[in-house]
Amino acid sequence: MVFYYSMLGLSLALVIIYAFIFHKHFDANLTIMTVLVPVINLAFVLMGNSTTVEGALNALKFTYIGGCYVLVAAMFLIFNTCGIPLKPWIRTLIIAISTGVYVCATTIGQTDIFYQGMPSIAYYGEAAYITDKHYGPMHTVFYVMIGLFYAVTIGVIIYSFFKKKQVSKTILILIVIAISTSVIGFFGSRLITKEMELLPATYNMGMIIYMVIASRLRLYDASDSVIDSLVQKGETGFISFDNKMRYLGSNETAKEMLPELNVLVVDHRVDNSQWLKENLLPWVAEFENDETKNTRLFERENKTYLVYINRLSVGSMHRGYQFLMTDDTANQQYIKLIKQYNNQLEEEVNKKTKSVIEMQEKLVVGMATMVEGRDNSTGGHIKRTSDCIRIIVGEIKKDNTLNLSDTFCNNLIKAAPMHDLGKIAVDDAILRKPGKFTPEEFEIMKTHASEGARIVKQILEGTDDIDFMNIAVNVAHYHHERWDGSGYPNKLKGESIPFEARIMAIADVYDALVSKRVYKESMSFEEANKIIMEGMGKHFDPSLKKFYVASRKKLEDYYSNLQNV
């Protein structure tokens, strides 16, 4: 009996040690084993103290808890440790089989399915033990079940040893020793002695190894270690609420960051604090609609806190919300300084860029003005067409059906003076000819469109304003294209002509009609209007007709003022 009592005492001591080292992240299966082992040891003490066969058999029934449940818990623990999930239905099936076998064990002395006949009792010293045992068919099933569970467990360990790089090899070896010790206790103790049960010693030895494993596993669990470190370090605040935003609790760090937490009552909503009510409740509602909005910055008393919201989960169920707070003041001040520096740098870059762009524009306009000096027919043309573009674009923006951006409109107005820049490449004899061109001369004259596009692109290439460059190139290249495809240089048709070039075409032709040239007099506004209107759908984009009509009065007033100057 001294052996049984000492094993019971050791198992109870292990329970106390387990309670001392217990951590909430310990596997639940380890807790189950720790609780069951003293029960099994107590059963051996009761069996040893029995004076009747019935009493010994009743105690014996409790000893089968070890084979039916402790080994199953150990197997589940090993699956969890090795990171191999078991489907719920498989766990349920295993527990159901173990329970069925144990129920059969409880019929010892009443049926023949586990023990056949009635065993007798004998004594070894002062301790009673059961003799004349004849096993029934379910006892064989019991041994087969233990052997199968052991084989599966060893298979998992071997697989993890060679395939799972994230599982400690030391832990796996300790698990093999622990589980093998218990199995040897089942099958090998009878070979050593029949008068005394050695299972209590093997259970206790296994529990010692499992507790060593549990304490080591905490070191390998990175998430567990990080959370504990954060809590102990005291730099992260934790606040928890249930699904109805009823306060569950917080740590001291959170209460220091948000003194409002001190007035909250557990299981009551945040309504006691106006600040929490105004800031947390709307955020939770927003988070429910979009879980990506899980981060906020809050400023309190010259400090900036970075707050994360996550769902508070128990198993697979969402039971509430958890807020994690850290003091982000220093980081935000650094970001603010970086932003200020970047803003200053961006401002300087913008100034330099603007200066470069202005230089490029002045260069292009200067070249266009130089072309005017060579061409007897284009005096003041570039300024007038730019003003015409401004008037027409203004009407387009008023209507807003085309939804033109301000950037596009401004770029088109700036690009207008560049539309005839290609004439710089045309020979003076042709460019300054006072009369009509011959077919050959006209072919040469038409090259100014593609030459203009090439020159504009060459001048503006490399600028940061890509949109402006593209518009300027298109205006120079395609302003002589016609809606019906009869224009030049590429005979583009309809909407294949860039939109900016279609607007430029109206301004260019209108100015040519109402302006005086060396080879013709200026045309009246009525005659010019008739030609423009007849050209809609042939020369010009018909969708621009209403904008031209809306612009007509302003165009005529503009040219009338020029004539009066």
Q: What per-residue confidence (pLDDT) applies to 461?
A: 78
pLDDT higher than threshold 70 for residue 361: no
Q: In this model, does residue 518 exceed pLDDT 70?
A: no
pLDDT band for 118, please (50, 70, 90 cuts). Answer: confident
Q: Is pLDDT above 70 for 196?
A: no
Could you tell me which residue, 377 or 255, shows the higher pLDDT? 255
Is residue 110 over pLDDT 60?
yes
**C-alpha distances out from residue 31 to 18, 21, 52, 180, 183, Å:** 8, 12, 34, 20, 20
Identify any residues that bridge with 129 across adjacent strands, giving them in sequence order.
Answer: 122
Name the residue with higher pLDDT: 42 or 462: 42
Is the pLDDT assigned to residue 499 strictly greater than 90? yes
Asked which of 100-104, 317-321, 473-477 is least confident by mean pLDDT, the reply is 317-321
Q: For the chain, give the mean pLDDT.
A: 83
Lowest pLDDT segment from 41-55, 281-295, 521-535: 41-55
β-sheet bridge partners, residue 310 = 322
pLDDT for res 217: 61
Distance CA 444, CA 539 (A): 21
- For 317, the 3-state DSSP assignment is strand
The predicted-structure confidence for 42-90, as pLDDT tens digits, reads as follows: 888 888 888 888 888 888 888 888 778 888 888 888 888 788 888 889 9
| 535 or 563, greater pLDDT | 535
pLDDT at 470: 92
* 153-to-30, 158, 178, 373, 474 alpha-carbon distances in Å: 16, 9, 11, 97, 76
pLDDT tens by residue, 413-439: 888 888 888 888 888 777 777 777 888
pLDDT above 70 covers what percent of the chain?
86
Give the C-alpha separation, 427 to 437, whole Å: 13
pLDDT tens track for 250-284: 888 888 888 888 888 888 888 878 888 888 889 99
Confidence of residue 366 (pLDDT cuts 50, 70, 90): low
Domains of the chain: 2-223 (1.20.1070), 234-327 (3.30.450.20), 343-564 (1.10.3210.10)
42: its two tokens: 């107590």
* Mean pLDDT calculated for residue range 286-298: 89
Q: What whole-number distance in Å separates Cα of residue 166 and Cα of residue 145?
A: 30
Per-residue model confidence (pLDDT) at position 374: 56
Q: How far apart are the first and last CA of the chain?
A: 129
pLDDT at 378: 46
Backbone torsion region of residue 243, taken as left when φ is above 0, otherwise alpha when ψ lies between -120 and 50, otherwise beta:
alpha
Helix (H) or strand (E) holding 323: strand 317-327
**CB half-sphere exposure, 104, CA atoms < 13 A:** 21
For 135-185, what is each residue's pLDDT tens digit? 889 989 988 998 898 889 888 888 888 887 767 777 778 878 877 877 776
pLDDT in tens, 439-448: 888 888 889 8
Contacts of 499 (CB under 8 A, 6+ apart): 541
Q: pLDDT, tens digit, for every residue of 13-36? A: 988 888 887 766 677 888 888 888
